[in-house]
Structure 1
Amino acid sequence: MENTPASPVSSYVAVGDSFTEGMCDDLLPDGQFRGWADRVAAALAAERPGREFRYANLAVRGKLIGQICEEQVGTAATMGTDLVTLAGGLNDVLRPGCDVDDVEERLGKAAAALIAEGRTVVMFTSTDPTRRLPGSTRLLPAILRMKAFVESIARDNPGRVVVVDLYTAPCFDDRRMWAEDRLHLSPEGHRRVAAAVLEALGRPAAEDWRAPLPTAAPRGRGEKLRDDLRWLRLHLGPWIGRRLRGRSSGDGRPAKRPELLPYEG
């Protein structure tokens, strides 16, 4: 996909779930995760030496698309920002019986609200989990539908919506791009997504974010088994437990940066 021309950005609001909150990236001094959105904000702020750059991140881990629409989109739409990133729906898709029609309807309405008043909106296609996670094949039809839907929004709004295509980037098949929980990006994964967003916004690419990582030493069967057992105990089990109790990791958690304030990172 061709880049959009690089336009000056004086403010940026990030909307979404744990992907945008930045889970499993390096920790900031205040104990929060950094994340790709903070990395994008830092790069955009650096383009404005001596001038104010404002940034808000409304994302909260665990949020479904309905919650993102109800709790974040309206707020973001009133902030008067130049740029919004919008990512959501994957938490819905992960749940059995997901109503993809409903997810698409809500995501489409969110995009329409954020496109208003001349904002640039960045959206995303999901990575392909089947290339790295056994047992994830059931998710693929919904992920492909969401991919086509996001791309259709961009086609219908040329110059207003740009898409970061993570689905076709084979680098995300590498386990080192993911945290131990296998659902959230590692610091390297967040760094690559930040580079992808900046490229989509027309910034010169300092590197090819799609490039594969250097070849890693092969893991033995015993190491793989230990990793799998640890993952089941520390991550999959608690995730299933929260689903059974109707709980979310983001319940009661405030937004990371709820106000559009000067960014000095």
Structure 2
Amino acid sequence: MQTDETSAPAARPGGPGRYTSFVALGDSFTEGMSDRLPDGSYRGWADRLAADLAAATPGFRYANLAVRGKLIGQIADEQVKTAAAMNADLVTLVGGLNDTLRPSCDMGRVRARLEEAVAVLAPNCGRLVLMRSPGRNGPFLERFRPRMEELFTILDELAERHGALVVDLYGSGALGDPRLWAVDRLHLTEEGHRRVAEAVWQAIGLEPRWDWTEPLPPAAPPGWYRRRAADLRFAREHLLPWIGRRLTGRSSGDGLSPKRGDLLPYPYEL
């Protein structure tokens, strides 16, 4: 079952106020990279969604357990039980994509850990939301597309079995636009995260406020020299360190704690 903003359930009376608590689980995508705030921290779609929900809901509570670099097994082991115990009205789980980027990825194990996570979360929250993650158009996506699509098939099956929603970000051509991706080519920009927040807002049955699928205005492609300079910067600052972490078994999230580990009242001003 695939659920997007056009097939979301109708909003119940009370609008966003029916969601009084929200817990987000996952990796760097949900942590908010690369939607950077002036103080150097990350905001991201989950914080943006929480802010919008909190603006209409006195006493709204929010937790974000996501940590960059986490594989689905780590999310299942370190975040799922904590989130289930919070019994939130809304829970989002986005994981498994980091696994698909590993050469030794075992998709059978990915399926098993996702099944375990969803089976624990679904009965312990009001609404569970899964996502088909977006992909940046280009050769990098093409290399990993078969695994990504296998992951999305697993998510669709789990959603149908457990009554969860699936937000289809992957199917949006707009989110594949390289201009919505940071220089590391792995994380969305501020505008990309803003679109994801609106996509989830609509998917959980709230009144659409704008069209998050609208393509960016046409623009002339960058020249050859500019593209090559961007490629070199990407390789030097992001690709080589990423490869180094893979070879040494390290993660960008090693030693980091969740950005918001407790379900606490959340101010809507950012």
Task: Provide the TM-score with structure 2 as the length reference.
Answer: 0.92
- How do residues 110-189 of structure 1 correspond to structure 2 at under 5 angstroms? 110-129=117-136, 132-158=137-163, 161-189=164-192
- How far apart are the structure 1 equivalents of 2:250 and 2:76? 19
1:171, distance to aligned residue in structure 2 (A):
0.5
- How far apart are the structure 2 equivalents of 1:152 and 1:96? 24
1:32 aligns with 2:41: yes
1:98 aligns with 2:129: no
Residues 1:190 and 1:61: Cα distance change in structure 2 (over 3 Å): same
1:135, distance to aligned residue in structure 2 (A):
4.2
Q: Which amino acid aligns with 1:47?
A: A
1:65 aligns with 2:94: no
Matched pairs, number: 258
Q: Which amino acid aligns with 2:150?
A: R
Q: Deviations over 1:165-187 (max 9, x none)?
A: 01110002211111110000100
- How far apart are the structure 2 equivalents of 1:141 and 1:163? 19
- What is the alpha-carbon root mean square deviation over aligned residues? 1.3
Identity of aligned residues (%): 53
Residues 1:66 and 1:170: Cα distance change in structure 2 (over 3 Å): same
- How far apart are the structure 2 equivalents of 1:28 and 1:164? 29
Residues 1:117 and 1:229: Cα distance change in structure 2 (over 3 Å): closer
- How do residues 1-265 of structure 1 correspond to structure 2 at under 5 angstroms? 1=3, 2-7=7-12, 8-27=18-37, 29=39, 31-48=40-57, 51-129=58-136, 132-158=137-163, 161-265=164-268
Which residue of structure 1 aligns with residue 15 of structure 2?
A: none
Q: Which amino acid aligns with 1:103?
A: V
1:128, distance to aligned residue in structure 2 (A):
4.0
- How far apart are the structure 2 equivalents of 1:212 and 1:33? 25
- How far apart are the structure 2 equivalents of 1:118 and 1:225? 48
**Deviating 4+ runs (over 4 angstroms):** none
Q: Which amino acid aligns with 2:96?
A: G
1:197, distance to aligned residue in structure 2 (A):
0.4
Q: Which amino acid aligns with 1:214?
A: P
Q: Relative to structure 2, which stretch is displaced further, 182-191 or 145-154? A: 145-154
Q: Deviations over 1:64-123 (max 9, x none)?
A: 111101110010010121110000001110000200111011011101111113521110
Q: Which amino acid aligns with 2:122?
A: I
The question of whether the paired residues in 2 share the 8 Å contact of 1:9 and 1:44 is answered with yes
1:126, distance to aligned residue in structure 2 (A):
2.3
Q: Which runs of 5+ in 1 are unaligned?
A: none
Q: Deviations over 1:178-227 (max 9, x none)?
A: 11100001001100000000010111111111110011232100100000
The question of whether the paired residues in 2 share the 8 Å contact of 1:15 and 1:58 is answered with yes
The question of whether the paired residues in 2 share the 8 Å contact of 1:36 and 1:191 is answered with yes
- How far apart are the structure 1 equivalents of 2:204 and 2:55? 15
Residues 1:148 and 1:203: Cα distance change in structure 2 (over 3 Å): same
